[in-house]
Amino acid sequence: MTRHQPPPRGPAGDFGWAPLAIIAGLFFVIGFVTWLNGPLISFVQVAFSLDDVGAFFIPLVFYLSYFLFALPSSAVARRMGLKRGLALALLVMAVGSALFGQFVASRWYAGALAGLLVLGAGLALLQVTANPYVSLLGPPARAAQRIAIMGICNKFAGILAPVALAVLAMRDIGGVAQRARAASDPMAREAILVGFVRAIYWPYMGMAAVLVAMSAAIVLSPLPDLDVPSLPPSRRAEAGWKAYVLQPHLLAGIGAMFLYVGVEVMAGDAIGTYGRGLGLPLDQTRFFTALTLAAMMLGYLGGLLAVPRLLRQERCMELSCLAGCVLTVLAWATHGYVSVLCVALLGLSNAMIMPALFPIAIRDAGAFTPLASALLVMAFCGGAVMPQFYVWLKPVVGFQRLFAMLVLPSYLAILFYSRHFGRERLPIAEES
């Protein structure tokens, strides 16, 4: 396949500001779509009269899509190129968004989850292409700084997403829930819920239209169609991927990414359920995801200023894990709004973990960068698994204690990974 030659390199990430700005826009889209899940848990719980386990199928299906579609996405990205892969990802997301809006409005929960799965498939392709794209736009030593810029856009969108959904589709959600529970006539109850869910139809259809427009804009944009380095024909080209996949820094990085995304979803999507467990009203807890994302954006801004001027990206990740441990203990030891605030501030701790973790894990990947990226994106399914453990076991263990039991060891494991693999440069295994 013919590739367009990259534009002349400039001061911003070696390729000028335009490609960085375009990718930043894509990360805004990723953040907006992803962080709708937190308020959506509360929305479907009311709209479909679900318990916590049923409502948490939202993050389960969404993050499971990364596990299912990351490797196929890697093959698509390699075949089509990163630029066309980005455009296709946006189109797939548009289809998923439209399906989700249609099926929610029709009050068919299984269909809505299927639409969310398609949306997640598009996001998997977008992640597989966009993350290595950012890493390849400049020197590895500043990869965390570039990813931090992406993170600011991602989390700014995450702050807006819960607010937008609350204003457009979740107004008076507490009142709707009370009226539905109080309705003795099933027909009257159904009428209340039908009117409630219809409010989500047009926002999701509008989002689908925006995604289609962005896909066309990517195709027409000056974005360079970057390609990964090619290996010369040899036994290494045929079998080297097996040696690379077995590299300890990648295998451990996959495990660390699994835990990190699980912790991120616990702090962002599960915070509403956590707040309701403390007796806080639904009309307030629907906004709690935005608090976590605001803290994450502050963390990215701090990281952007500090890395690499004051701290190496690996050192910043270690300090973030230690801060996460302290906040987790404080969340367990306190109650009410103070405990919720400690959970929200985990966003501050989480912010600079991914920007350092991803470059460490794909270090020296060379031609195997798409494969390494796909394996790490598959590990995003930690966001599906950890919240499920939480909702299944919290009636037995207690929601605050269980939160700490899941999150604290995860931070410690990520800290161990950073200290062990973040300070050494591991060359890719050579085939003898």
HSE-up of residue 134 (Cα within 13 Å, Cβ side): 29
CA angle 89/58/297 to nearest 5° reads 70
Instruction: Determine the longest span between alpha carbons in the chain, in angstroms.
Output: 75
Q: Does the reported pTM lie above 0.85?
A: no
CA-based radius of gyration for the chain: 21
Least Cα distance to 324 among 305, 303, 351 occurs for: 351
HSE-up of residue 362 (Cα within 13 Å, Cβ side): 29
211-228 burial, b if ≥16 CB within 10 A, otherwise e? bbebbeebeebebbbbbb
338-356 burial, b if ≥16 CB within 10 A, otherwise e? ebbbbbbbbbbbbbbbbbb
pLDDT truncated to tens, each residue of the chain (432 aa)? 444 444 444 334 455 577 778 888 888 888 888 888 888 888 898 888 899 999 999 999 999 999 999 888 888 877 887 788 889 999 999 999 999 999 998 889 999 999 999 999 999 888 878 776 776 666 666 666 677 678 778 878 888 888 888 787 777 777 877 887 777 778 888 888 888 888 888 889 999 999 999 999 888 887 777 664 444 444 454 456 666 677 888 899 999 999 999 999 999 999 999 999 999 988 888 889 889 988 988 888 888 788 777 888 788 899 999 999 999 999 999 999 999 999 999 999 998 898 889 888 887 776 677 778 788 889 999 999 999 999 999 999 999 999 999 999 999 999 999 988 876 544 443 333
DSSP annotation of 243 reads: H
Least Cα distance to 357 among 421, 292, 428 occurs for: 421
Considering the chain, what percentage of its residues have pLDDT values greater than 70? 85
Instruction: Give all domains of the chain, ordered by start, each with its CATH number.
Output: 17-220+235-421 (1.20.1250.20)
